[in-house]
Chains A and B, each alone.
Chain A
Amino acid sequence: MLFENRKQLSTLLLPAIVVLGLLTAYPIISVVYNAFLSVDIGSGQHHFVGMANFAELFDDFFFVTAIQNTLLFTVVASTAQVLLGLVLALLFHRNFPGRRFALPVIIYPMMISTLVCSSIWRSWYHYDFGFLNAAFVSVGLPPQEWLFNPDFALYAIAIVDTWQWTPMAFLIILAGLQSVPKDISDAAMVDGATGWKSTLYITLPLIQKQILLAFLLRSIDTFKLFDKVYVMTGGGPGNATETLSMFVYKYGFRFFDLGMASASSLVMLAISLAMTLIYAKRVMKGGKQ
């Protein structure tokens, strides 16, 4: 039995509706509105320009690069995180000495903040004094430019993101593995399936759902990429690590181009909305009880 009292219900929901309305609904509506305006900074006058901002956006080399970079980053980083998370989860699914201590420790990277994480890796990538080049040289490899190599910088940031967030994919997939009934894997063993064969044909199909969820959650999150780029490369070299978030930031807070910034925000919102709806479809099926 659920309660029916409408008055009580409105009292309960009102504070949340006010806060969310003011801080998110109103901003989103104004982004949508501004995306179709052109504002003259000097006079403050604005007029309706229809789809002109979007036309300009998709003609803009920097915007197209930002979209490509963001999508590439999203796919590469999320895939890497899910694959590594899967491998770790399979390793941790079986007991081993000290598992109790290793489990809380392996999730440390996602517990330290993105800024701390970026500060460690930015130091590691340093050409002259960085840990990575020192390690490379000590085993006879040539030092690398890392964040200053336009062909590699985006991947260098993807490595940092992967290091930080693999633990999350790991946790989701491990929970999936632990929910597989033991008799299924036992039955497979009796039928002669062992080692990687049993993993590939029996375990993986059973945790498909968790793998997909981990991938979706990580994609939604990697798509937002801002902090790491802001502090590690600032979008460079050139615009090799320019992302959509950086693009909106630059147009909104440096060039004060309200129309373009809003139009690109709207494109971001649409992509994020599409991913969220796919995710919501999978997690919101359950009823109230």
Chain B
Amino acid sequence: MNARVHGIVVWCCTGLFLLPIVWMFGTAFKSPNEILNAGASLLPTTLSFDSWLAVWQGSLFTLISNTVLVSLSATVVSVVVAFFAAYGLVRYRFPAKLDYLFLLLVLIIKMMPPIVVAIPLYSLMNQLSLLNSKAGLILAYQVYTLPFCIWMLLGFIRDIPLEIEEAGAMDGAHLFRRLLHIVFPLCAPGLVATSIFAMILGWNEFLFSLLFIHSPDKLTIPLFISNFMTEDGTAWGELMVIGIISSIPMLVLASYMQRYLLRGFSMGLK
């Protein structure tokens, strides 16, 4: 294939592949009437902001703040807990290869279908009176985010040369001072990358919010989209506006995080 043909082929594939996203943006700016008569057109004939207005007047801000609050808190908890655990796993000698066993168990948890633990988790939340609460959701999200963060941070901590820390240890730096002054700064880019991926996990999570959240004022964006889809048959304009609002942060991150994407989506495993 000569270079020119190759370029054209790749761009055509890319364009075709992105049609659904183009349609999402187009539909958000179509009038409700045009949506039902649009046929195979991707872009609106006349720009309409009806759908944006409708979403703006809805519960948009509650939704966004709920989703941000829950995913951000879940991320903070996970990253802190995982940072200590990952550091211990990388830098300390374990008896009887227990570190491998621990990592294997964490991997198994990350890979298992979350529905497997949903029922006992539901009764646990019930006993702790955490059903239908954001705190409960933050806790439940640890099932996804904590194993992810442990594995992801493992790779970043491994990349820090041991010699730097050994020097610190010889100077008598205590564990927490060593962590704070040596490991933390060196690992900062890794912590940021890991946090962003954990945020994405929380931002997009559906199953546990479906099971644990009932009141409308506590809905997360994915849960709202699900309710919206089943209740308002073809109000696609509003649906796509919400879709865009929920996707924009991710699409911006996609460009920013490119270097870490592979690591993130395969959990730091190469």
CB of A106 within 8 Å of the partner chain: yes
**Interface pair A24/B92, CB less than 8 Å apart:** no
Residues of B within 8 A of A131 (CB): 23, 38, 40, 42
**Interface pair B11/A31, CB less than 8 Å apart:** no
How would residues 223 to 236 of chain B score, 1 for a CB under 8 Å from any chain A CB and 0 otherwise? Answer: 00110111000101
Complex: A31 Cα to B123 Cα, angstroms: 12
**Interface pair A12/B162, CB less than 8 Å apart:** no
Complex: A286 Cα to B114 Cα, angstroms: 28
Chain A: interface residue count, which band? Answer: 35 or more
Interface core residue of B17, B42, B104, B210 (most chain A CB under 10 Å): B17
- Give the contacting residue for B113; candidates A96, A106, A268; CB below 8 A: A268
Number of A-B contacts (CB under 8 A): 287
Complex: A265 Cα to B234 Cα, angstroms: 35
CB of B240 within 8 Å of the partner chain: yes
Surface stretch bound by B, among A44-52, A53-61, A184-192, A248-256: A248-256
Interface of A (DSSP majority class): helix
A281 CB, min distance to chain B CBs, angstroms: 10
Residues of A within 8 A of B9 (CB): 91
**Interface pair A3/B253, CB less than 8 Å apart:** no
**Interface pair B109/A24, CB less than 8 Å apart:** yes
**Interface pair A252/B118, CB less than 8 Å apart:** yes
Residues of B within 8 A of A171 (CB): 261-262, 265
| 19 contacting pairs across A/B (C-beta < 8 A) | A1-B162, A2-B91, A11-B175, A16-B85, A22-B124, A23-B142, A27-B120, A96-B3, A104-B255, A111-B200, A111-B251, A113-B250, A114-B206, A120-B24, A123-B236, A230-B226, A249-B118, A269-B113, A280-B108
The 7 closest A-B pairs by CB, nearest first: A12-B88, A27-B120, A16-B85, A113-B204, A27-B117, A96-B7, A134-B40
